[in-house]
Structure 1
Amino acid sequence: MSRDWERLARAIEAARNAMGLTQVALAAAAGVSESSIQNLESGAARKRTPPTLAKVEEALGWAAGTSNTILAGDEAPVRDTSALEEAAAGTLPLRIVQALSDGPLLDTKILDLEDDSGARMIVVVKGKQGATPEQIQRALEAWERTEAQLRSGGDTKQ
């Protein structure tokens, strides 16, 4: 059975563009190298499925195994929007729903609050829509500084 790597490349690129992500931003969201994204979007035939593909599927909001479906010639996926639909149904404020839908996802962090309540803080770091690789890099560096301040209790004298 032949696998259509060019079709998968087009589907990944289309999904990435629909999300407003650059290759750099998708790579960051998936935790893979930019060259991995470039290789997947090249459409070059492969004998084996790259191990990075599962991470890219997840970053694109695809169900696990969607790439194999596309490679086999079946329908291209529709992005999983269940989290946004749930948010829009009232479990999150609309301003948060809007903020989550704008720009590329750069990082997330769950921080346990230092008390006996068991409460946690959830941080979602979003980039600017259409950001350049340099802007994304600066945003990630700013987030690293901010995260360090959060972990130190807000003390900026490190």
Structure 2
Amino acid sequence: MTEDRTNLQWARLAAAIKAAREARGLRQIDLAELAGISEGSIQNLEDPDRRPSRMPQSLAKVEPHLGWSAGSGVAILKGGEPTLLATNPRDGRRDSQGRIRGQLPLRIVDELESDDPLLDSAVIELPGVDGARMTVVVRGNPNATPEQIQEALLAWRKAERRLQRLSVEEGSDTPNPRAANGS
């Protein structure tokens, strides 16, 4: 038995997606990149005149980047409201998964919460300012071959050495990376 799609509110969903995207300060291309889909897919989702014959796969991919829990798009189509991802207002972390929210720009949060493979990470002391540090998270392409991952790691190692040299050149005696790395 197929679902009755005649009463789905596509224009309402399009408006909700656009409003949520704009509220997060994202352009269509930004949301597309975060969700791993094409900009055209975002344009289709935001088109109030579009009536797809089936549920777009891209809908589930954009939901978390709009701050919605899974299934929120379908709820809007059926006349309901999106369920917002829960956050703990005290510390800005998502309650259910302990991820950072509210304290960092959205692009950074989305990158930190990405499912792309973590290649490495490091915390590097900044020169001349006691206690100031830079945090670097290196993510890889989820479809990368082992050779491509190796190439990305080598590129990161070169960049990491340059960052550490800058720290030495700027006045600290020795590079002091407090690395929390995965390799």
Question: Shared fold by TM > 0.5?
Answer: yes
Query: Is residue 6 of structure 1 aligned with residue 11 of structure 2?
Result: yes
Instruction: Name the Cα RMSD after superposition.
Output: 3.6
Q: What pairs with 1:112-151 in structure 2 (closer than 5 Å)?
A: 112=120, 123=137, 149-151=155-157
Deviation at 1:19, TM superposition (A): 0.5
Deviations 1:75-107 (A, max 9, x none): 2x253251x636347xx9x9x953x2x253573
Query: Is residue 104 of structure 1 aligned with residue 117 of structure 2?
Result: no
> Normalising by structure 2, what TM-score?
0.53
Distance 2:89 2:157 in 1: 32
Query: Which SS does the other structure have where 1:123 is aligned?
Result: strand
State the partner residue of 2:78. Answer: 72
Distance 1:124 1:3 in 2: 41
Aligned-pair identity (%): 40
Distance 2:27 2:89 in 1: 24
Deviation at 1:61, TM superposition (A): 2.2
Name which of 65, 88, 91 aligns with 1:87.
Answer: 91
Distance 2:85 2:57 in 1: 21
Which ranges of structure 2 fall in alignment gaps of 5 or more residues?
122-134, 140-151, 163-183
| Aligned CA distance change for structure 1 residues 62 and 148 (closer, same or farther; 3 Å) | farther
| Aligned CA distance change for structure 1 residues 97 and 45 (closer, same or farther; 3 Å) | closer
Distance 1:42 1:85 in 2: 34
Deviation at 1:112, TM superposition (A): 4.4
The 8 Å contact of residues 92 and 102 in structure 2, kept in 1 or not, is answered as: yes
> Normalising by structure 1, what TM-score?
0.61
How many residues of Structure 1 are paired with residues of Structure 2 in the alignment? Answer: 122
Which ranges of structure 1 fall in alignment gaps of 5 or more residues?
114-120, 126-145
> Greater relative contact order: 1 or 2 (C-alpha under 8 angstroms, separation 6 or more)?
1
| Aligned CA distance change for structure 1 residues 150 and 64 (closer, same or farther; 3 Å) | same
Deviation at 1:58, TM superposition (A): 2.0
Query: Is residue 20 of structure 1 aligned with residue 25 of structure 2?
Result: yes
Larger radius of gyration: 2
State the partner residue of 2:58. Answer: 52
